[in-house]
Structure 1
Amino acid sequence: MQTAKKGDKVKVHYHGKLTDGTTFDSSEGRSPLEFEVGSGQVIPGFDDGVTGLKVGEKRTVNIPADQAYGQASEEQIVEFPKSQFPPEMTPEVGMPLQMSNDQGQTFQVVIKEVKEDSVVLDANHPLAGKDLVFDIELVEILPGKSSIIMPE
């Protein structure tokens, strides 16, 4: 039976948890996640966890932060003047915001601290610095160009 390998398009169901058991994401009740193994579409540890699975096979993988979203970086924490916020907005700790950089790219930040004249924003990925646990089930390996069988 075929196993998932680099370059294969696959469909998987997954349940992502923190090491304390808290769920942060799951495909339950949704379509399976579809991606190409080894293409960088998912975190490296997830790619590794799918590699070698057969259709219908399940696996639990423990992914250290370095193979997931990396370590949290102090460089991603910035102080922003309150005067730059819309006047009708009241910044609160934990509030998610969309920001854009000089190139027009948008990214999410979370308010980490509210000071008298400024707000401390954290642009790290919410799962940065965290070890993750995924329960993965390989649902399907999609036919690729190399596996098309031509009629005789």
Structure 2
Amino acid sequence: MSEQVIGPKSEVVFHFSIKLEDGSAADSTKVHNKPAKLFMGDGSLTDNFEKCLLGLKTGQSKSFDLRPEDAFGQPNPDNIYYLDRSKFGADTPAKVGSIIAFTQPDGTELPGLVREVAGDSVTVDFNHPLAGQPVTFEVDILEVKN
């Protein structure tokens, strides 16, 4: 049986960890021992994360250091909104540090982080929590199907 190499259309089962500069884990599939499953090109990972996987084989482990632009991007000031405090209620209080899911016009939910509460104005950041941060992306390839 030939070794399966990850290509642009592969189905990949893998464990991953995303670590911050200080070495702390931001995310890891190993915590609950539930590997991730990915169809390359399906949009669930950014192009840069997918490029890290191309060419790896079943059984391989690798670590990649990614700049913010190659990982979760830089924070976009257009993703910071100032909302009226009246939009928040008892079930979703406007508290700094709270992550609240906001329903978009198309029905999808988008998580926002409450950054500041000043008077009747609530600042909500819809950038990815890891935006602007360099990360280390560690992968263990468990299975590749082409």
- How many residue pairs are counted as aligned between the two chains? 143
**Cα shift readout 1:43-62 (whole Å, capped 9, x = no counterpart):** 22221121111111111011
Which residue identity lines up with residue 27 of structure 1 in the other structure?
T
2:10 to 8, 11, 33: 8
Q: Find the structure with the greater CA-based Rg.
A: 1
Which residue identity lines up with residue 61 of structure 1 in the other structure?
F
Change (3 A) 1:4 1:90: closer
Distance in 1 (alpha carbons) for counterparts of 2:51 and 2:91: 47
Matched-pair contact (CA < 8 Å) for 1:77–1:123: yes
Distance in 2 (alpha carbons) for counterparts of 1:11 and 1:84: 41
**Cα shift readout 1:13-65 (whole Å, capped 9, x = no counterpart):** 11110122121111113221111223322122221121111111111011222
Which residue identity lines up with residue 4 of structure 1 in the other structure?
I
Residues 1:136 and 2:139 aligned together:
yes
Distance in 1 (alpha carbons) for counterparts of 2:100 and 2:130: 16
What 5-or-longer segments of structure 1 have no aligned partner? 145-152
- Corresponding residue for residue 84 of structure 1: 87
Which residue identity lines up with residue 74 of structure 1 in the other structure?
P
Distance in 2 (alpha carbons) for counterparts of 1:62 and 1:115: 38
Distance in 1 (alpha carbons) for counterparts of 2:104 and 2:91: 23
SS at match of 2:96: coil
TM-score, normalisation: structure 2:
0.89
Distance in 2 (alpha carbons) for counterparts of 1:61 and 1:73: 24
- Corresponding residue for residue 150 of structure 1: none
Which residue identity lines up with residue 118 of structure 2 in the other structure?
K
SS at match of 1:107: strand
Q: How does 1:42-121 map to 2 (within 5 A)?
A: 42-86=45-89, 90-121=93-124
Identical amino acids, percent of aligned pairs: 28
- Corresponding residue for residue 22 of structure 1: 24
Aligned residues: CA RMSD = 1.6
Change (3 A) 1:84 1:49: same
Which residue identity lines up with residue 119 of structure 2 in the other structure?
E
Change (3 A) 1:14 1:89: closer
Query: Deviation above 4 Å: which 4+ runs of structure 1?
Result: none
SS at match of 2:133: coil
Which residue identity lines up with residue 64 of structure 2 in the other structure?
V
